[in-house]
Amino acid sequence: MSELHPKHKEFNFAEGELLLVNKPYRWTSFDIVGKIRNAFKPLKLKVGHAGTLDPLATGLLIVCTGKMTKQIDTFQAEEKEYTGTFTLGATTPSYDMETEVDQTFDNAHLSEQYLRDACSQFMGDIQQYPPAHSAIKVNGERLYEKARRGEEVELKARNVTIKEFELTRIELPEVDFRVVCSKGTYIRSLANDFGKAVNSGAYLSRLRRTRSGSFRIEDAWEVMELVSLIREKPLPNPPREGGLQEPHQAGGYRENANPLSYEVLKGNSKANRHSPTPAENLLWEQLRHNSTGYKIRRQHVIDNYITDFVCLQKGLVIEVDGGYHQNTIEADNTRTEMLNHWGFEVVRFSNDEVLQSPQNVFETIKQKIESMPDREKALPTGEGLGGASI
């Protein structure tokens, strides 16, 4: 592994990690993401990839976790390098080996020089038609779904850039190649177009992504090697709210929270449901026996977070927090960002505020609710499940 991606380092997956993975043959890119995401269970972390590889392709897949997923578009836009093999003298509907050969052609006229000279036609900025068997969406449906049903699909040319294109082995009917290209280039289409350029047919019979931007396949993890690493470094059980004491941890979670793990657990675990603190119970009594005019829910699930109290109609989350150190304050800031994303405003009260002046806290909440417009942003999946209400 390079210095940028050492195998022996302290990972903070929720804060954000970029992971290089060697995608195996016949695995989908989603298979890789799913395998890594499942390795974090019971925690639910954001995991995504930066650039799909076809199931029949192998090689470098960039996988991002936590906050690093916000940079996926940046990584995906970088140039790519591939190596692989074209098989000349035949074509397939999918331009690769996913479908059977539909036409064959004579290769007698093909010479090494003729083939190498043809590469120059594809250098620079070119227009390329994607394969009919591609994941591009038209009217909400993938092209390959239409193609598999035998329907005609309208293909639109796209502009791509081929920076380097060379043949590295010629042993007909196979030729090996190396190509450096822009985002959005279909190597299957390049195979098909190359066959036409040499007055023959061609399809892609092997493909491996070797580089994406500055990241190289040499620095990639094998899938199960990475999964084993994640599982061998289990995260501790989710902390409880309100500084509840643990038998072997004097002072409670809030006072002794590990700065590397607390944010992961606090910001991403639905398992963080907890026994109410005295301050929360007192505020709940105020909310139950006095009317705000709107329904208030208690310990209600929003995305990956369990609120103390929430008014869904107004988009107001109400939190009752104890005194605790900087690590947990940063964790709550992360959760606030997530709730803001779903269109919620967060107000926080300390345990002392609630215990000393519960009626004042209630009046503040009521005034806040009355001043807010109804919430317009769509609810996250599962938001309407669970939680006591009044």
Q: Read off the CATH number of the domain in which 359 is found.
A: 3.40.960.10
C-alpha 386/C-alpha 370 separation (Å) is 25
Q: Residue 61 has what pLDDT?
A: 97
H helix or E strand, kind and range, residue 388: strand 388-389
Q: Based on the domain organization, do 337 and 305 belong to the same domain?
A: yes
Q: Residue 192 has what pLDDT?
A: 96
Q: Has residue 117 been placed in a domain? A: yes
Q: Residue 251 has what pLDDT?
A: 35
Decide if 241 contacts 272 (C-beta within 8 A): yes
Q: Based on the domain organization, do 40 and 61 belong to the same domain?
A: yes
Q: Has residue 297 been placed in a domain? A: yes
Q: Which residues pair with 345 in a beta bridge?
A: 316
Q: Has residue 193 been placed in a domain? A: yes
Q: Residue 312 has what pLDDT?
A: 86
Reported as a single tens digit per residue, the pLDDT across 91-149 is 998 899 988 999 999 999 999 999 999 999 999 999 998 886 665 555 556 555 655 66
Q: Based on the domain organization, do 310 and 247 belong to the same domain?
A: yes
**Which phi and psi angles does 126 have, rounded to 5°?**
-135, 165
Decide if 284 contacts 358 (C-beta within 8 A): no
Q: Has residue 8 been placed in a domain? A: no
Q: Based on the domain organization, do 88 and 43 belong to the same domain?
A: no
Q: Residue 276 has what pLDDT?
A: 73
The structure tokens 């060379």 sit at 166
Q: Has residue 12 been placed in a domain? A: no
Closest by alpha carbon to 15, among 301, 304, 259, 325?
259
Q: Residue 271 has what pLDDT?
A: 41
Q: Based on the domain organization, do 248 and 380 belong to the same domain?
A: yes
Q: Residue 89 has what pLDDT?
A: 97
Of 31, 54, 303, 352, the active-site residue reads 54
DSSP 107-141: -TT--HHHHHHHGGGGSEEEEEPPPSSS--EETTE
Q: Which amino acid is at 191?
A: A
Q: Based on the domain organization, do 285 and 165 belong to the same domain?
A: no
C-alpha 73/C-alpha 52 separation (Å) is 12
Q: Residue 11 has what pLDDT?
A: 82
Token digits for 362? 């209630």
Q: Has residue 237 been placed in a domain? A: no
H helix or E strand, kind and range, residue 249: none
**CATH label of the domain that carries residue 176:** 3.30.2350.10
Q: Based on the domain organization, do 103 and 67 belong to the same domain?
A: no
Rounded to a whole number of angstroms, the distance between the first and last alpha carbons of the chain is 56
Decide if 92 contacts 102 (C-beta within 8 A): yes
Q: Has residue 9 been placed in a domain? A: no
Q: Residue 144 has what pLDDT?
A: 56
Q: Based on the domain organization, do 51 and 104 belong to the same domain?
A: no
- pTM for the model stands at 0.59
Which residue range forms the structural domain that includes residue 223? Answer: 17-77+216-230
Q: Has residue 235 been placed in a domain? A: no
Decide if 233 contacts 14 (C-beta within 8 A): no
Q: Residue 235 has what pLDDT?
A: 46
Q: Based on the domain organization, do 49 and 90 belong to the same domain?
A: no
Q: Residue 1 has what pLDDT?
A: 42
Which residues have C-beta within 8 Å of that of residue 228, sequence separation ≥ 6? Answer: none
Q: In total, how many domains does the chain have? A: 3
C-alpha 349/C-alpha 352 separation (Å) is 8
How far is C-alpha 154 from the chain's CA centre? 30
Which 3 state secondary structure label does DSSP give 265? helix
Q: CA torsion sign, 212 to 213 to 219 to 221?
A: negative
Is 176 a known active-site residue?
Answer: no
Q: Residue 172 has what pLDDT?
A: 96
Which 3 state secondary structure label does DSSP give 120? helix
Which ranges of the chain have pLDDT less than 70? 1-9, 132-154, 233-275, 303-305, 322-334, 338, 341, 376-390
